Amino acid sequence: MSDIIAYKLNGNIIDTLSVDENEKGLEPIYFDNSTEALEVIRHSCAHLMAEAILELYPDAKFFVGPAIEDGFYYDFRAFKEDGSKIGEADLKEIEKKMKSLIEKKADFIKTNSTKTEVSAKFKGDDLKQEVLKRIPDGVVSIYSQGKFEDICRGPHVPNTKYLRFFKLTRVAGAYLGGDEKREMLTRIYGVAFADKESLNEHLKMLEEAKKRDHRKLGNEMKLFTFDEEVGAGLAIWLPNGARMRSKLEKALFKIHRDRGYEPVRGPEILKADAWKTSGHYDNYRENMYFTKIDEQEYGIKPMNCVGHIKVYQSEIRSYRDLPLKFFEYGVVHRHEKSGVMHGLFRVREFTQDDAHIFCAPNQIKENVLEILNFVENIMKTFNFDYEMEISTRPDKAIGDEKVWEVATNALKEALDENGYKYGIDEGGGAFYGPKIDIKITDALKRKWQCGTIQVDFNLPERFDLAYIDENNEKKRPVMLHRAILGSFERFIGILIEHTAGELPFFIAPTGVAIVPISDKHFDYAKKIALELRKLEVDSEILSKNETLNKRIRTAEKAHIPYILVIGDEEVEKNSVALRDRRARTQSNLSFDEFIKFIKEKLDEVHF
């Protein structure tokens, strides 16, 4: 059995330096690749990296170095002899120093002091003082190994010998404390595991992820771009990307209508009074953009819910009308910090596949289950596995705790009674209600937060929503907030990486590339393109004055699913030479057989 590197007590991880081993209820955490063990290993590896940086750059100052979901990082200030910051080229030297430090097999040592004593100890270190500001009064712990020490609550491994399997992955900038108005520190990311095989497997995944990076493929496929003159986090959709989005939107529009949803549209800018009523002004203001019109304050919407509430309020509602399902491809804006934006994954403007269901309290369960069925069909279509997590009341929330309890239990009952498995994210709910988060797993086994289902008793109360029940009395409806993709931007970015650019045929920007061998075959190529357009399949005729092989390579590089080569025989026989680029097969079909083949491919989509 492997060594014990920490313990779990009452759900918390405690290292061997912080616990009495005779205490009851201790669950040992062994040196392996369990989630708990990796958290300890990775946090410790961050400190090892900091020690190596200090050895190489003695004037370095350190801020924070936590373990994160897939590794660790440290934020610090350090400069090389020429005054420049540490870059990617310096990582190998830092790794080499880390390995030499591991050979010393230094123990981690923990000491406890008062906040005043620690402040005095690090009197000349401004970054340590910043860390202390974030720590409540009381006992403050310091961990050290070798020549490095830092303010830290742990947990850490007993000895650096447990940190052999690591890799530093990249250098980034990080604003001090996440505040973009403050100094930009250097951040180095790394990964660590308990064995070499797991590390190598993860590094292979990272290499594959680089090849699949949606920013790289988006550029190659001419889907979208960003422009500094336009602004950070504001995607510009090119013709290919806009075609793809419109096809996805159209497919989802139809299935929404089939499921009884009504299309609506709210304004993108609302008076601040509306956001005060909703609670966004007090609880979400830092994420919003505000402006003034005729001395009146307005807020650009970060969510679509208030607009949909106003649709509900546009007429008197009866219990016979419920549930009312409104949906909108709603453009929203949120203030994201510069340091966290990343391609389509984190942007300042995005479009949600948003819906709000207004129902009676006794209709919550059936509507949550209908949404889950909708989720299941969409995820199957795109070949995603997924899991669910219920997020409960956060510290910053509106509404009575009893109301939250009722809403949370409604979600749990809907999942429990139908055998759905789910986790619990304590305190992760929206400020107005608990939610089910849909987390999808891509081809590289990475998890992504996408869809959400939220039960909300609070906004109906704040906006005084009502319906007339069977006894002709006013009753309060429940509001279900629902997005399945989450946002088109984020979902498309995930889908590009999941498929390595091999997008499903029904949303492919260009479904068919037609390559006439010479000019005399061009008219037949145009006839094929016209018939494909009738099926709402986009095609491109590659007729440039280039070799046949180069034009075929151009189509392949653009990830076009089907390539038709048109020559004398195809024109004479009214046929096509079809290359299925993804299946890597070639076949000869009559024109009618080809059209039938394309129709069958389109019919494979089942939401």
Q: Is 467 part of any domain?
A: yes
pLDDT at residue 201, rounded to an integer: 95
pLDDT at residue 433, rounded to an integer: 81
**537 vs 337 pLDDT, higher one:** 537
Q: State whether 192 and 243 are in the same domain.
A: no
Q: State whether 492 and 514 are in the same domain.
A: no
Helices 591-603 and 522-534 sit at what angle, rounded to 10 degrees?
Answer: 30
Give the list of residues 6+ apart from residue 38 with CB closer than 8 angstroms, or none: 67, 192, 193, 194
Q: State whether 522 and 579 are in the same domain.
A: yes
Q: What is the CATH number of the domain that holds 47?
A: 3.30.980.10
Q: State whether 68 and 105 are in the same domain.
A: yes
Instruction: Judge whether 356 is annotated as a binding position.
Output: yes
Q: Which of 156, 185, 212 is the last residue of a domain?
A: 212
**252 vs 402 pLDDT, higher one:** 252
d(CA 386, CA 450): 10
Q: Is 302 part of any domain?
A: yes
Q: State whether 180 and 280 are in the same domain.
A: no
Q: State whether 133 and 242 are in the same domain.
A: no
Is the model's pLDDT at 586 over the cut of 70?
Answer: yes
Q: State whether 195 and 230 are in the same domain.
A: no
Instruction: Judge whether 559 is annotated as a binding position.
Output: no
Query: For residue range 489-548, what is the model confidence (pLDDT) as tens digits?
Result: 999 999 999 999 999 999 999 999 999 999 999 999 999 999 999 999 999 999 888 898
Q: How sure is the predictor about 1, in pLDDT bands with cuts at 50, 70 and 90?
A: low
- Full-model pTM: 0.86
Q: What is the CATH number of the domain that holds 569?
A: 3.40.50.800
Q: Is 328 part of any domain?
A: yes
Q: What percent of the chain has pLDDT over 90?
A: 79
Is the model's pLDDT at 21 over the cut of 80?
Answer: no
Q: State whether 76 and 177 are in the same domain.
A: yes
Query: For residue range 67-110, what is the model confidence (pLDDT) as tens digits?
Result: 998 899 999 999 998 989 999 999 999 999 999 999 999 999 99
Q: State whether 231 and 337 are in the same domain.
A: yes
pLDDT at residue 372, rounded to an integer: 92
The total domain count for the chain is 3
**414 vs 515 pLDDT, higher one:** 515
The arithmetic mean of pLDDT across residues 135-149, rounded, is 92
Q: How sure is the predictor about 480, in pLDDT bands with cuts at 50, 70 and 90?
A: very high
Q: Is 433 part of any domain?
A: no
Q: Is 398 part of any domain?
A: no
Q: How sure is the predictor about 250, in pLDDT bands with cuts at 50, 70 and 90?
A: very high
The arithmetic mean of pLDDT across residues 164-173, rounded, is 95
d(CA 398, CA 251): 36
Q: State whether 257 and 129 are in the same domain.
A: no
pLDDT at residue 269, rounded to an integer: 97
Is residue 319 within 8 A of residue 360, CB to CB? The reply is yes
Q: How sure is the predictor about 569, in pLDDT bands with cuts at 50, 70 and 90?
A: very high
Q: Which of 187, 212, 237 is the last residue of a domain?
A: 212
pLDDT at residue 10, rounded to an integer: 86
Is the model's pLDDT at 338 over the cut of 80?
Answer: no
Q: How sure is the predictor about 579, in pLDDT bands with cuts at 50, 70 and 90?
A: very high
Mean pLDDT of the chain: 93
Query: For residue range 270-316, what is the model confidence (pLDDT) as tens digits?
Result: 999 999 999 999 989 999 999 999 999 999 999 999 999 999 999 99
Place of tokens 């709910």: 429
pLDDT at residue 85, rounded to an integer: 92
The arithmetic mean of pLDDT across residues 368-392, rounded, is 92
Q: Is 312 part of any domain?
A: yes
Give the list of residues 6+ apart from residue 431 with CB closer than 8 angstroms, or none: 279, 283, 284, 394, 396, 397, 398
The arithmetic mean of pLDDT across residues 447-466, rounded, is 92
Is the model's pLDDT at 606 over the cut of 70?
Answer: no
Q: State whether 349 and 468 are in the same domain.
A: yes
> What is the DSSP annotation of 90-153?
GHHHHHHHHHHHHTT-PBPEEEEEEHHHHHHHTTT-HHHHHHHHTS-SSEEEEEEETTEEEE--
The arithmetic mean of pLDDT across residues 28-40, rounded, is 95
Q: What is the CATH number of the domain that holds 484?
A: 3.30.930.10
Q: Is 432 part of any domain?
A: no
Q: Is 49 part of any domain?
A: yes
Which of the residue ranges 197-206, 359-368, 393-402, 484-493 would you say has the lowest mean pLDDT? 393-402
Instruction: Judge whether 202 is annotated as a binding position.
Output: no
For the CA atoms of 490, 420, 381, 302, what is the dihedral angle to 10 degrees? -30
Q: State whether 67 and 198 are in the same domain.
A: yes
The arithmetic mean of pLDDT across residues 567-575, rounded, is 94
Is the model's pLDDT at 321 over the cut of 60?
Answer: yes
Is the model's pLDDT at 384 over the cut of 90?
Answer: yes
CA angle 420, 360, 390 (to 5 degrees): 30
Burial of residue 471 (number of CB atoms within 10 Å: 0-12, 13-18, 19+): exposed
pLDDT at residue 24, rounded to an integer: 81
Q: What percent of the chain has pLDDT over 70?
A: 100
Q: Which residues span the domain enclosing 174?
A: 4-212
> What is the DSSP annotation of 189-209?
EEEEESSHHHHHHHHHHHHHH
d(CA 257, CA 255): 5
Q: Which of 177, 212, 247 is the last residue of a domain?
A: 212
pLDDT at residue 343, rounded to an integer: 94
d(CA 388, CA 346): 21
pLDDT at residue 434, rounded to an integer: 86
> Would you name the residues annotated as active-site residues?
305, 334, 352, 354, 356, 435, 481
